[in-house]
Amino acid sequence: MLGKVIGILVVSLVWVSVSMAAPKRVVSMNFCTDHLVQKIAGPGQLVSVSFLSEDRSASLIADEIGSYYLNHGLAEELLRLDPDLVIAGTYSNRSTVNMLRRLGIRVEEFAPALNFEDIRNNIQKVGHLLGREQAAAALVRELDAGLKSLGIPTTKSDKPPLLGIYTVNSYVTGADSLESNMTKAAGFRHMGSEMGLKGPNRLSMESLILTNPDFLLTWQRWSESTIRSSEMLRHPALKSWFGEARHFSLDQRYWMCGTPDVLQGVIALQSIRREMAQ
């Protein structure tokens, strides 16, 4: 009887060990999870990222993914990769996610990070899923150290300046977003938050000028683009109303995904803030 019990315990321990084993073939099918997983995965563990991460105008890892298969989020191509873990976003192709799960493939989903705590939690979650807890912990320490080092520059005015961020198709972002939290961390008030907006919203040129933020930020990628959706960013009214002293551009890539790279976006904006404080 004792031998039988011991045998059952040994089998159970082996099963638990196997079930908790780190995945060996990880696939990311979301642009932002690409960036997060790529930072944490061990050598040879990540086999595929989304094709969007190849775009150097948007991606921060374009030069580091040459050995990965670039997927388009289609179930049939992901199945051929024989993954033991697929990491997706909550807005990833639902038909692919559902199909993979029906076929017994483990799929873990990540919601977009809206603040620094979300980034911290997502890093830890990836570390746990990949069996890379130490690498994830190091990344969290990097994030926390960077946040701690941020000092908000002061001016003679107690009220931080209002920053408007205007992007393609006249969109602005509202409160409780990664953009709003990064803006506040750099020492600005966020226009979308001050207007009481939630999520992405279209804002006419007239409304932007009437709101009259102290400074206007447009993204380098779109400000320099000739596509039709970015035409508003080159509108003469922007140049006439805000002028060079109140209008500047930054690299959008550091603002797109919740990874420790957001620190570089905050630092770049903060440097602008310091220049204005002088």
- pLDDT tens for each residue of 260-270: 999 999 999 99
Task: Give, to the nearest 10 degrees, the angle between helix 31-40 and helix 116-130.
Answer: 60
Q: For residue 4, is pLDDT > 50?
A: no
Q: What is the pLDDT of residues 128-182, one digit of tens each?
A: 999 999 999 999 999 999 999 887 555 555 689 999 999 888 899 999 999 999 9
Task: Give the pLDDT confidence score for residue 39 in this predicted structure.
Answer: 97
Confidence of residue 17 (pLDDT cuts 50, 70, 90): very low
Q: Which of 143, 86, 92, 87 is nearest to 119 (CA)?
A: 143
Tell me 216's DSSP state. Answer: E
Domains in the chain with CATH codes: 22-147 (3.40.50.1980), 162-277 (3.40.50.1980)
Task: Give the pLDDT confidence score for residue 154 in this predicted structure.
Answer: 52
Collapsed DSSP state (helix, strand, coil) of residue 110: strand
The per-residue pLDDT of the chain, averaged, comes to 88
Q: For residue 12, is pLDDT > 50?
A: no
